[in-house]
Amino acid sequence: MEKPNKELLQAFIDWFMREYSNFGGKPIAERYEEAFDTFNNDFIDARYDAFQDGWKVQQAKVEELQNHATEIHKREIKLFEKTLILTHERDELQKRVDMALELCKKGGALSACLAMRVEQALKGEGCQ
């Protein structure tokens, strides 16, 4: 016999002696079968309960991870929306700057010089 089977058998014998020390007039073989069935059912119930407990722990972890993923997804959506808004604002400002530069370039030599300086300043070049 392997060691785990010896331990299981010893556990059964101990349990049998504890539960069925008084045979109550029934034949020992009948009491033994009854005791083994009860022990086996108790053992199965204990394993099932352990399985259920483990399953509940795993379900709690899954729900926690799902909630965390949902929060991250919501944050990503908010950041994406903010990026869209900022990109739209930048594009609008770029259109205004381009229109102002066109008007300056059409206005003559002084306006063209001013337009070059404004354009350089906007690009981060030249004197500031």
- Domain assignments of the chain as residue spans, ordered by start: 3-123
CA distance 107 to 97: 15
Distances (CA, A) of 68 to 20, 61, 63, 64, 74: 53, 10, 9, 6, 10
- For 60-103, write each residue's pLDDT tens digit: 999 999 999 999 999 999 999 999 999 998 888 888 777 777 77
36: closest CA among 14, 8, 19, 16? 16
Burial of 100 (0-12, 13-18, 19+ CB in 10 A): middle
pLDDT tens digits for range 94-107: 887 777 777 777 77
Average pLDDT, the chain: 78
